[in-house]
Amino acid sequence: MKSDIIKFDYGWQLSVFDTATSTSDIIFSLDDIKEGIAILARQQTAGRGRHGRSWTSNIDDGMYLSLALRPQRAVKEWPSLSFVTALSLVDAIKQLTPHMPIGLKWPNDILVDNRKISGILLEAKQDLLVIGCGVNLKNAPHVKDAKFAPTDIFAQSNILISPQELATRFLNKFHQLYQDWQHAGFSSHIDLYKSQLLFMSQRVSVSQGYNKISGIMRGISQQGDLLIEDDNGDIISLSTGDVNLVGQIDAISN
pLDDT at residue 46, rounded to an integer: 64
pLDDT at residue 51, rounded to an integer: 46
Per-residue confidence at 249, pLDDT binned at 50, 70, 90? Answer: very low
Q: Once rounded to an integer, what is the mean pLDDT over residues 145-153?
A: 86
Rounded CA separation 185/189 (Å): 8
Rounded CA separation 19/3 (Å): 10
pLDDT at residue 144, rounded to an integer: 72
State pLDDT tens for residues 152-181.
999 999 999 999 999 999 999 999 999 999
pTM metric for this prediction: 0.90
Rounded CA separation 173/112 (Å): 21
pLDDT at residue 79, rounded to an integer: 94
Residue pair 40/167 in contact (Cβ under 8 Å)? The answer is: yes
- Of 211, 204, 201, the closest CA to residue 249 belongs to 204
122, pLDDT greater than 50: yes
pLDDT at residue 49, rounded to an integer: 52
- Facing residues of 103 across strands? 111
> In the chain, what are the domains?
4-196 (3.30.930.10), 203-253 (2.30.30.100)
Give the 3-state secondary structure of residue 71.
coil
DSSP H helix total and E strand total for the chain: 6, 16
pLDDT at residue 8, rounded to an integer: 98
Q: Is 147 left (phi over 0), alpha (psi -120 to 50) or beta?
A: alpha
